[in-house]
């Protein structure tokens, strides 16, 4: 033992550059001036159980024609970060939540886009509206005040619109719009930090995801980096006005979708790159099951009229990402380097493209559409199939993509 230490010391002394390098790296990793992306945060990377990429790709169909690349971009620079797309019972829409906190709807060419609802009385045009900059970091400072509506669902019976807002929790607004009423902003006595998506059970219960107990939406990248698994599936119970924890310990729970006959629901776990099932009825009631490991990071899930599920995926994991996912200590060092996150992320090879896939109730893949060159969409959040057309939302860009389907 002693001899080994001695040897190491000698080695270092004989190689002063090596010693210097170690000291510099040590200093950087300690990040005394909080210059790194995680500076000032209680960053605690953990290991995640993500299926190896090569294994997933063995059975994952490819879209060699890159069909999604033939889609159209609509409403370019007219709407900002439309994540979720919804249509009302008269078929009007899309309705969508924007990065500036508004919920807007398309009323046809003559009227155009109109503001339909807001999630807070505090919203003002002066404070919140930043146009094309709404989807950039310029919005981050005011996002918490202005709101960030992500998941939208109409109750087809009443015409009320339910909203999952990152900051304002679960809300509802009447069919004529206006300021939404909060339904659920806390659970077990603590505020909900990051409501993300919802679906409405036929008995009135509302299932919604709460992505993390530790990070809000502006800091969502750290949930991925850290592997934070404090996310939950919640249920709001209208008769009692109470909110219940259905599932906890989830890694970035994101989209949620009930099956056609409501005997199960699907949810995505973004960090773990997978699609999960939670049984509500039958012999397996209350249990969860893996539906599919995915090649990239999933967002929302939406049902089509046949009872099949569209999943929006940001693709694909790279080798370096995979190594980082499996080795928390590497993430601990890497993301403590005092280099801006965008460079660190670029070096990890985050050149994403979009993949959308259609699953049946059994979890079999029915179709996969890709835009491998990222021509039409660089990031997808949700796919809605309606009247022979797919409507595709994106939380990070200023347009909606459409493509005829099938």
Ligand X SMILES: *[C@@H]1O[C@H](CO)[C@@H](O)[C@H](O)[C@H]1NC(C)=O
Q: Which is nearer to ligand X, 205 or 259 (CB)?
A: 205
Q: Which is nearer to ligand X, 238 or 307 (CB)?
A: 238
Convert 216-283 into a string of H (helix), E (strand) and C (coil).
CCCCHHHHHHHCCCCEEEEEEECCCCEEEEEEEEECCEEEEEECCCCCEEEEEECCCCEEEEEECCCC
Minimal distance in Å, beta carbon 77 to ligand X?
28
Which DSSP string corresponds to 293-357?
E-SSEEEEEEE-TTS-EEEEEEE---HHHHHHHH-HHHHHHHTTSSS-HHHHHHHTT---EEEEE
CA angle 66, 68, 73 (to 5 degrees): 140
- Candidates 27-35, 85-93, 197-205, 324-332 — which segment interacts with ligand X by CB under 6 A? 197-205
Size of the site for ligand X (CB under 6 A): 11
Is residue 203 close enough to count as binding ligand X by CB under 6 A? yes
Strands 169-173 and 365-371 turn out to be: unpaired
The answer to whether the beta carbons of residues 303 and 309 sit under 8 Å apart is yes
Is residue 26 close enough to count as binding ligand X by CB under 6 A? no
Is residue 280 close enough to count as binding ligand X by CB under 6 A? yes
Distance CA 84, CA 98 (A): 9
Token couple for 355 = 């993949």
Distance CA 1, CA 76 (A): 66
Is residue 59 close enough to count as binding ligand X by CB under 6 A? no
Q: Which is nearer to ligand X, 40 or 239 (CB)?
A: 239
- Candidates 106-114, 123-131, 199-207, 372-380 — which segment interacts with ligand X by CB under 6 A? 199-207
* One of 205, 219, 321, 394 touching ligand X (CB under 6 A): 205
Minimal distance in Å, beta carbon 293 to ligand X?
19
Minimal distance in Å, beta carbon 10 to ligand X?
53
The answer to whether the beta carbons of residues 205 and 198 sit under 8 Å apart is no
Distance CA 150, CA 180 (A): 14
* One of 8, 62, 174, 319 touching ligand X (CB under 6 A): 62
Burial class (CB in 10 A: 0-12, 13-18, 19+), 286: exposed
Q: Which is nearer to ligand X, 324 or 369 (CB)?
A: 369
The answer to whether the beta carbons of residues 233 and 278 sit under 8 Å apart is yes
Is residue 145 close enough to count as binding ligand X by CB under 6 A? yes
Q: Which is nearer to ligand X, 85 or 198 (CB)?
A: 198
Distance CA 297, CA 275 (A): 10
- Candidates 8-16, 200-208, 270-278, 398-406 — which segment interacts with ligand X by CB under 6 A? 200-208
- Candidates 198-206, 220-228, 291-299, 325-333 — which segment interacts with ligand X by CB under 6 A? 198-206
- CA 157 to chain CA centroid, nearest Å: 28
* One of 16, 32, 91, 239 touching ligand X (CB under 6 A): 239
Is residue 122 close enough to count as binding ligand X by CB under 6 A? yes
Is residue 64 close enough to count as binding ligand X by CB under 6 A? yes
Is residue 54 close enough to count as binding ligand X by CB under 6 A? no
Is residue 181 close enough to count as binding ligand X by CB under 6 A? no
Q: Positive or negative, the Cα torsion across 120, 123, 129, 133?
A: negative
Q: Which is nearer to ligand X, 263 or 332 (CB)?
A: 263
Q: Which is nearer to ligand X, 132 or 284 (CB)?
A: 284
Token couple for 167 = 């900051």
Is residue 201 close enough to count as binding ligand X by CB under 6 A? yes
Q: Which is nearer to ligand X, 112 or 191 (CB)?
A: 191
Q: Which is nearer to ligand X, 74 or 248 (CB)?
A: 248
In three-state secondary structure terms, 196 is: strand
Minimal distance in Å, beta carbon 90 to ligand X?
27
Minimal distance in Å, beta carbon 368 to ligand X?
10
Residues in contact with ligand X by CB under 6 A are: 62, 64, 120, 122, 145, 201, 203, 205, 235, 239, 280
């Amino acid at each position: 033992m002693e001899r080994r230490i001695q040897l190491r010391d000698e080695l270092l002394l004989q190689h002063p550059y090596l010693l210097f390098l170690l000291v510099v790296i040590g200093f950087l990793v300690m990040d005394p001036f909080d210059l790194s992306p995680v500076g000032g945060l209680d960053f605690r990377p953990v290991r995640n159980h993500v299926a190896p990429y090569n294994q997933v790709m063995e059975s994952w169909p490819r879209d060699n024609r890159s069909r999604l690349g033939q889609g159209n971009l609509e409403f370019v620079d007219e709407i900002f970060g439309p994540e979720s797309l919804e249509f009302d019972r008269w078929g009007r829409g899309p309705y969508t939540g924007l990065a500036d906190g508004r919920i807007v709807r398309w009323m046809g060419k003559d009227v155009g886009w109109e503001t339909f609802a807001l999630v807070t009385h505090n919203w003002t045009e002066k404070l919140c509206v930043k146009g094309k900059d709404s989807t950039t970091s310029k919005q981050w400072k005011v996002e918490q005040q202005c709101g960030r509506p992500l998941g939208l669902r109409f109750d087809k019976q009443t015409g009320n619109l339910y909203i999952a807002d990152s900051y304002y929790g679960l809300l509802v607004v009447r069919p004529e719009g206006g300021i939404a009423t909060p339904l659920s902003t806390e659970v077990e006595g603590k505020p909900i930090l990051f409501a993300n998506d919802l679906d409405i059970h036929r008995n009135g219960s509302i299932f919604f995801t709460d992505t993390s107990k530790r990070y809000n939406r502006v800091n969502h990248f750290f949930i991925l980096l850290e592997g934070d698994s404090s996310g939950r599936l919640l249920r709001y119970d209208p008769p009692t006005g109470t909110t219940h924890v259905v599932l906890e310990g989830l890694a970035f729970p994101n989209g949620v979708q009930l099956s056609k006959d409501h005997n199960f629901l699907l949810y995505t776990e973004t960090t773990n790159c997978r699609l999960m099932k939670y049984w509500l009825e039958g012999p397996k009631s209350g249990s969860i099951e893996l539906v599919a490991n995915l090649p990239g990071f999933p967002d929302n899930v939406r049902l089509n009229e046949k009872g099949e599920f569209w999943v929006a995926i940001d693709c694909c994991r790279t080798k370096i990402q995979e190594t980082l996912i499996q080795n928390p200590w590497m993430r601990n060092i890497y993301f403590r380097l005092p280099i801006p996150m965008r460079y660190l992320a670029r070096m990890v090879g985050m050149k994403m493209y979009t993949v959308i896939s259609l699953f049946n109730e059994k979890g079999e893949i029915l179709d996969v559409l890709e835009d491998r060159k990222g021509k039409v969409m660089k990031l997808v959040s949700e796919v809605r199939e309606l009247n022979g057309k797919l409507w595709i939302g994106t939380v990070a860009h200023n347009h909606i993509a459409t493509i005829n389907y099938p």
